[in-house]
Chain A
Amino acid sequence: MKYLDEYRDGDIAAKLVERIKRAQTKPWVIMEVCGGQTHSIVKNGIDHLLPKGVELVHGPGCPVCVTPLEMIDKAHAIARRPDVIFCSFGDMLRVPGSDGDLFSIKSQGGDVRVVYSPLDCLKIARANPDKQVVFFAIGFETTAPANAMLAWQARQNGMTNVSLLVSHVLVPPAIEAILSSPQNRVQGFLGPGHVCAVVGYTEYEPLAARFHVPIVVTGFEPLDILEGVLMVVEQLESGRGEVENQYSRILARGGNQPAQDLIAKVFEVSDRKWRGVGTIPRSGFQLRADFHDFDAERRFNVHAIDTMEPEICIAGQILQGIKKPHDCPAFGNPCTPQHPLGATMVSAEGACAAYYAYGRHLKDADLVMIGANGHGHN
Chain B
Amino acid sequence: MDTTKPASEESVATLGPFGECPLPIFEHPQIVLGHGSGGKLSAELIEKVFVSRFRNSTLEKMDDQAVLEIAGTRLAFTTDSFVVTPIFFPGGDIGSLAVNGTVNDLAMGGAKPLYLAAAFILEEGLPASDLARVVDSMAAAARNAGVQLVTGDTKVVNRGKGDKVFITTTGIGLVDRGTQLSADRARPGDKILLSGYIGDHGITILSQRENLEFESALESDCAALNGLVDAMLDEAAAANALDGFRVMRDPTRGGVATVLNEIAGRSKAGMELRETQIPVRDAVRGACEMLGLDPLYVANEGKLVAIVAPQIADRVLAVMQRHPLGAESRIIGEVVEQHPGMVLMKTSVGGTRVVDVLFGEQLPRIC
Chain B binds chain A: yes
Of A236-244, A246-254, A265-273, A364-372, the one with at least 4 CB within 8 A of chain B: A364-372
Cβ-defined contact, A336 with B352, below 8 A: no
Residues of A within 8 A of B212 (CB): 116
Given A90-B363, A370-B342, also A13-B285 (CB < 8 A): no
Cβ-defined contact, A194 with B339, below 8 A: no
Q: Is A304 interfacial (CB-CB < 8 Å)?
A: no
* Bound complex: CA A167 to CA B62 (Å): 45
What's the nearest-Cβ distance from chain B to residue A289, in Å?
27
What's the nearest-Cβ distance from chain B to residue A262, in Å?
17
Query: For window 34-49 of chain A, which residues contact chain B by CB distance below 8 Å?
Result: 35-36, 39, 42-49
What's the nearest-Cβ distance from chain B to residue A6, in Å?
12
Interface residues as binary, A125-152 with B (CB distance below 8 Å gives 1, 0 otherwise): 0000000000000111011000000000
Given A138-B366, A338-B22, A372-B3, also A103-B32 (CB < 8 A): yes
Q: Which one of B285, B339, B350, B357 lies within 8 Å of A14 (CB-CB)? A: B350
Cβ-defined contact, B347 with A373, below 8 A: no
* Bound complex: CA A114 to CA B209 (Å): 12
What's the nearest-Cβ distance from chain A to residue B2, in Å?
9
Cβ-defined contact, B3 with A91, below 8 A: no
Residue in A107, A108, A139 whose Cβ sees the most chain B Cβ within 10 Å:
A107
What's the nearest-Cβ distance from chain B to residue A225, in Å?
9
Interface residues as binary, B333-367 with A (CB distance below 8 Å gives 1, 0 otherwise): 00000111111001111111110110110011111
What's the nearest-Cβ distance from chain A to residue B181, in Å?
24
Cβ-defined contact, B365 with A39, below 8 A: yes
Given A36-B367, A103-B34, A371-B339, also A339-B24 (CB < 8 A): yes
* Bound complex: CA A14 to CA B346 (Å): 14
Residues of B within 8 A of A48 (CB): 351-352
Q: Which one of A8, A116, A142 lies within 8 Å of B211 (CB-CB)? A: A116
Q: Is B33 interfacial (CB-CB < 8 Å)?
A: yes
Cβ-defined contact, B21 with A94, below 8 A: no
Residues of B within 8 A of A223 (CB): 349
Q: Which one of A8, A91, A339 lies within 8 Å of B366 (CB-CB)? A: A91
Residues of B within 8 A of A63 (CB): 366-367
* Bound complex: CA A9 to CA B359 (Å): 31
What's the nearest-Cβ distance from chain A to residue B294, in Å?
8
Residues of B within 8 A of A358 (CB): 353-354, 356
Cβ-defined contact, A104 with B30, below 8 A: yes
Determine the main DSSP class of B at the interface with A. Answer: loop
Given A368-B339, A373-B341, also A44-B347 (CB < 8 A): yes
Nearest to B281 among chain A residues (CB) is A1
Q: Is B291 interfacial (CB-CB < 8 Å)?
A: yes
* Bound complex: CA A39 to CA B41 (Å): 23
* Bound complex: CA A123 to CA B212 (Å): 12
| Chain A interface extent, by class | 35 or more
Residues of A within 8 A of B70 (CB): none
Q: Which one of A106, A138, A372 lies within 8 Å of B33 (CB-CB)? A: A106
Given A44-B347, A223-B349, also A338-B24 (CB < 8 A): yes
Query: For window 195-228 of chain B, which residues contact chain A by CB distance below 8 Å?
Result: 211-212
Cβ-defined contact, B348 with A8, below 8 A: yes
Query: For window 1-18 of chain A, which residues contact chain B by CB distance below 8 Å?
Result: 1, 4, 8-10, 13-14
* Bound complex: CA A32 to CA B1 (Å): 35
Cβ-defined contact, B365 with A349, below 8 A: yes
Cβ-defined contact, A10 with B349, below 8 A: yes
* Bound complex: CA A42 to CA B351 (Å): 9
Cβ-defined contact, B30 with A93, below 8 A: no
Cβ-defined contact, A103 with B360, below 8 A: yes
Given A44-B347, A116-B211, also A107-B367 (CB < 8 A): no
Nearest to B34 among chain A residues (CB) is A103
Nearest to A11 among chain B residues (CB) is B350
Q: Which one of A108, A357, A368 lies within 8 Å of B30 (CB-CB)? A: A108
Given A13-B350, A104-B30, A374-B357, also A116-B364 (CB < 8 A): yes
Cβ-defined contact, B32 with A107, below 8 A: yes
Given A116-B211, A367-B339, A375-B21, also A89-B364 (CB < 8 A): yes
Q: Could you give 13 example pairs across A and B, Cβ below 8 Å?
A: A8-B348, A10-B349, A49-B350, A49-B351, A90-B363, A106-B32, A107-B30, A123-B211, A138-B366, A139-B367, A348-B292, A364-B339, A367-B354
Chain B positions near chain A (C-beta within 8 angstroms): 1, 3, 20-22, 24, 27-28, 30-34, 40-41, 211-212, 261, 264-265, 270, 276, 282, 285-286, 289, 291-292, 294, 338-343, 346-354, 356-357, 359-360, 363-367
| Contacts beyond the supplied A46-B351, A107-B30, A349-B365: 19 A-B pairs with Cβ under 8 Å | A8-B348, A13-B349, A93-B363, A103-B33, A108-B30, A116-B211, A139-B366, A222-B349, A339-B22, A348-B292, A356-B356, A358-B354, A368-B338, A371-B270, A371-B343, A371-B354, A371-B356, A374-B40, A374-B265
